[in-house]
Amino acid sequence: MKIKQITAGITICILAFIMITLIQIQKSSEGSIPDMVWYNGEIKTIEDKVEQEITREAIEQEHGCKVLFLSDADYQSRLNESLVNDGIILDLYIKEQPHYNRDGFESEAAEGVFIGKVIWNAKEERYHILRSRLQQEVIIFGVIFLIITYGLLLILYRNYILPFRVLQKFTDQVAKGNLELALPIRRNNFFGAFTESFDLMREELKRARESEYRANISKKELIAELSHDIKTPVATIKATCEVLQVTEENEDTLRKVGVIAGKAEMIEQLVDNMFHATMEELVLLKVEPTAESSLMIPEMFHDFKYYGQITLDNEMPECLLYIDKLRLQQVLDNIINNSYKYAGTEVRVSFIENVEGIIIRIKDYGKGVAEEELALLKEKFYRGSNAEGKSGSGLGLYLVDNFMKQMNGGMECYCDDGFAVELFLKKV
């Protein structure tokens, strides 16, 4: 329905309301002026009250009239004044006392005795009635005028002013970078095409921002993954160099091995710096857990033998676990690398099965960490008091904790004659 049709409908309804109201006023006013039947009824009531000896003041107040008795000193003057003012004047009678015969019956009918006049000011009555009627009409027309004015202002505001105010609020939000606020487009909006263009612009900006964000995240994830993955072969090179430096006797070979070890150390520091800078901007690396066999986990520990002595205390129970293979390998690598770096002792691994999943317990026999630092080890960039002089970014256990949470698992660490980490992996 068009706005013009709505406006026409409102106008017709208001005009119909005005006509009905005028008809009602006319009907009510026709019966509002007293006629002679009404006056005759009033005079009978007044006569009864006079016979009941009700005071003149009470009668006048109740019936809106003036009562003149023949005994009044100003009877004639007040009567003449009422005649001049076109007053309604009726005679006031009371019944004469009846006479009874010797048998107790009324000997003759009692006749009425004239005792005065009852006067109504007809002009004043008409004046009050017309005044009351005029007041009603003024009030009704005033209300109708206000309704019409309000309706027109509402239409003006809704169809012309409101769209621009909404558009102003929308552009302010877009300028602040909020591209989630959609611009409402109403039917019959005179500026519909105009506002729709602004909303299309918002959608395009939003898509462009999301594409840019995804591209940046993908780039940072790739850098973070490569940085972290490079650390494994570099650690292998360093471990191999350490072995050669102990077993090799040839001076020239030892010198070359020293160069290799130094370059490997430099590469590790550069990779740590790159990984640290990337993780400052990256909230979390992507984790995509799937159903995997638990028997693949012991094989991961065999790949970490270059760190040092790793002992598996028992066999892994066979079941399906909800894990991301790559992220779990990074989790285990971070924990084993920390044990090798800070403890330098044997690492023992045990597997505990319960109804919900598998607990992997990894324990070394170093000095551990202070009790008050345990709760802080999962914080981003936090490094314990035992990390002085050792390379690292303070992101290892932070990433471990986040990876495990995204695999619907968990990580707990504590001191038990060394440092221990328990990883919980959920069964499928």
Q: Which residues pair with 421 in a beta bridge?
A: 362, 413
- The span from the CA of 99 to the CA of 107, in Å, is 6
**Taking all residues of the chain, what is their mean pLDDT, rounded to a whole number?**
76
**Cross-strand partners of 425:** 358
Each domain of the chain, given as residue ranges in start order, spans 34-120, 285-428
Q: How far apart are the first and last CA of the chain?
A: 58
> 107 falls in which pLDDT band (50, 70, 90)?
very low
Q: Which of 4-18, 261-275, 368-382, 410-424 is predicted with the least confidence, judged by mean pLDDT?
A: 4-18
Per-residue confidence band for 38, with pLDDT thresholds at 50, 70 and 90: confident
What six digits make up the tokens of 312? 């598996």
Q: Which two tokens stand for residue 110?
A: 């009692």
Q: What is the mean pLDDT of residues 115-143?
A: 74
Architecture in CATH for domain 285-428: 2-Layer Sandwich (3.30)
Question: Could you tell me which of 421, 343, 311, 324 has the C-alpha nearest to residue 377?
Answer: 421
Express each pLDDT in 330-370 by its tens digit.
888 888 888 888 888 888 999 999 989 999 999 988 888 87
**pTM, full prediction:** 0.42
What is the pLDDT averaged over residues 231-251? 80
247 has pLDDT over 70: yes
Which one-letter DSSP state was computed for residue 340?
A: I
By the 8 A CB rule, do 29 and 129 touch?
yes
In this prediction, residue 358 carries a pLDDT of 92
Highest mean pLDDT: which range of 76-80, 223-227, 290-294: 290-294
Residue 177 has phi, psi (to 5 degrees) of: 95, 5
Q: Position 124: which residue type?
A: E
Beta strand pairing status for 347-353 and 357-363? antiparallel
What lies within 8 Å, CB to CB, of 82 at 6+ separation is 66, 89, 117, 119, 121
Q: Judge whether residue 65 has pLDDT over 80.
A: yes
CA–CA gap between residue 25 and residue 44 (Å, rounded): 31
Q: Mention every residue, 6+ apart, whose C-beta is less than 8 A from residue 52.
A: none
Higher pLDDT, 175 or 14: 175
Question: Which pLDDT belongs to residue 109?
Answer: 47
pLDDT score at 423 = 92
More confident residue, 361 or 383: 361
The pLDDT, as a whole number, for residue 255 is 82
pLDDT at 330: 81
Q: What is the pLDDT of residues 308-332, one digit of tens each?
A: 788 888 999 999 999 988 888 888 8
> CA–CA separation, 184 vs 170, rounded Å?
10
Mean pLDDT of the region 211-220: 73
The sign one gets for the Cα dihedral 73, 76, 79, 81 is: negative
User: Tell me: the pLDDT tens digits for 140-182?
Assistant: 777 788 888 877 887 777 777 777 777 777 777 777 777 667 6
pLDDT over 70 at 190, yes or no: no
Q: What share of the chain in percent tops pLDDT 70? A: 71
DSSP 184-220: ---TT-TTHHHHHHHHHHHHHHHHHHHHHHHHHHHHH
Confidence grade of residue 9 (pLDDT, cut at 50, 70, 90): low
Segment 388-416 mean pLDDT: 80
Q: What is the mean predicted confidence (pLDDT) over 191-213? A: 73
Quote the CA–CA distance of 379 and 151 in Å, as a whole number: 62
Structure tokens at 406: 């995204």
Strand order in the sheet with 88-95: 66-69, 112-120, 88-95
What does the pLDDT average to over 106-119?
Answer: 70
Cα 395 to Cα 283: distance, rounded to the nearest angstrom: 12
Which class for 136: exposed (0-12), middle (13-18), buried (19 or more C-beta within 10 A)?
middle
Q: What is the CA radius of gyration of the chain?
A: 53
**pLDDT > 90: percent of the chain:** 5
Q: Which of 23-27, 39-43, 110-114 has the highest mean pLDDT?
A: 39-43
Label residue 97 by pLDDT band (50, 70, 90).
Answer: low
Evaluate whether 225 touches 285 at the Cβ level (below 8 Å): yes
Residue 126 region by backbone torsions, left for phi larger than 0, else alpha for psi between -120 and 50, else beta = alpha
Q: What is the mean pLDDT of residues 70-97?
A: 79
Task: Using the CB atoms, write b or e for 378-409: b if 16+ within 10 Å.
Answer: beeeebbebeeeeeebbbbbbbbbbbbebbeb
Compute the distance between CA of residue 133 and CA of residue 226 in angstroms, rounded to an integer: 93
Q: What pLDDT band is residue 424 in, cutting at 50, 70 and 90?
A: very high
Nearest to 329 by CA among 422, 237, 400: 400
On the question of pLDDT at 253 being above 80, the answer is yes
